[in-house]
Amino acid sequence: MKITDIKLFLLKTGTGGETGADAGESQYCGGGWAANSLIANPMTVYPKYAKLRTHWFGPGQDPYAIEIHTDEGIKGVCANYGGGPYACAVIEKHLKRFLVGESPFNIEKLWDQMHRATMPYGLGGILGMAISGVDLALYDLIGKAVGQPVYNLIGGKVREEIPCYVTIHPDDVEHWANSGFLGVKIAAPWGEADGRQGLKKMEQCIAKCRDVLGSDMDLMIDCYLSWSPEFTVRLADMVRDYDVRWFEDPLQNGWEIQSNADLRRKISPIMVAIGNLEFHYKAFHQIIVNEAADIIQPELQWIGGLTSARKIAAMAKPYNMPVIPHSSGVYNYHFVISNSNSPFAEYLVNGVGNEIVPAFEAVIGEPMPVDGRITLSDKPGFGVELNYDILEPYKG
């Protein structure tokens, strides 16, 4: 079997209630709470962009989809909620040459060639999103070729179902209490830019969430790179009585290894979870060996796909460091159900914030949590297909 062609797609304008980065909006967030609520973010320090975090998003935060075709009529697909037209351009103008004419079974070779060829201009970001789409589509293709679900290609099931926590805005916490999910992660509305008042508001917010959830559900806080070491330590001291499981991405991504390691020691027993916006397995290696996190959260659709995620999981295993992929979706679930060091998964609520809906409308057949748990079918590949009703061909 040989790869014969690569086809690329973008979301149609207006899909999901947002018009995309060209209009200063986000197609992926789809107009729900994640786009229209007060959420602290790296741009909160600038009042013009503080209220709605999607209004500063660029084309790299728009979605794209990919098909990989073969001479035997079998194709693999992937829909990625990051990369947009930039990732499509990288795939079409560069990565495609390493794929066409090759066997799709040689995933490690193809991944390594794409990685090495793009070193001169990037080790993550858009490059990671482009390679991720290719990698995940290749796994989908191979699964379909051999008639097996992807999780059987990477170790098989280590559990029959996946417990999940749910991610929402704090305004919607009450709806998810006693819902079967193991816990709730809230998007923090306030951060360093809000100063002392931000600390007080976050303390009140966390106290209210704990009161609503009771003592049987975990409570986590997504800080979205908007806190500082001082803000994080002071807030940790203020919320000791509310049994917070972790603070997620409190500091900016990049080279904050020592800062996160110091922070981890200072705020314990609250844990530090990071990795959402780290884009290369080498970055995770530094996090792991420097013990700069309690939990790492690679984004499978941004870090280079399953091939990269498996490298990260192998590095984390000797440290007994849990690998909980960021966000939700079928790609994450196949990884989690086959990785013994991934005890649960995230389910990110989209839309208005109070109902179970697919994480991403560009795929059809995504498994949904029932009573807070995901069960995967034995369909070949990832078991999903592209939703062509909302896609249009990438034209370059």
Beta-carbon contacts of 155 under 8 Å, excluding residues fewer than 6 positions away, are 338, 339
3-state secondary structure of 2: coil
How far is it, in rounded angstroms, from Cα 72 to Cα 144? 12
List the structure tokens of 53.
């975090």
Q: Is 169 a catalytic residue?
A: no
**Backbone phi and psi for residue 11, each to the nearest 5 degrees, phi listed first:** -70, 140
- Nearest CA to 273 out of 242, 289, 250, 244 is that of 250
- Whether the bond between 393 and the residue before it is cis, its omega within 30 degrees of 0, is no
How far is it, in rounded angstroms, from Cα 158 to Cα 340? 6
Catalytic residue among 115, 169, 326, 334: 326
Give the angle subtended at the CA of 325 by the CAs of 44 and 283, to the nearest 5°.
75
Rg over alpha carbons for the chain, rounded to the nearest Å, is: 20
| CA-to-CA separations, 17 to 63, 340, 386, in angstroms, rounded | 14, 38, 19
Neighbours of 9 (CB within 10 A): 22
3-state secondary structure of 204: helix
Active site residues: 326
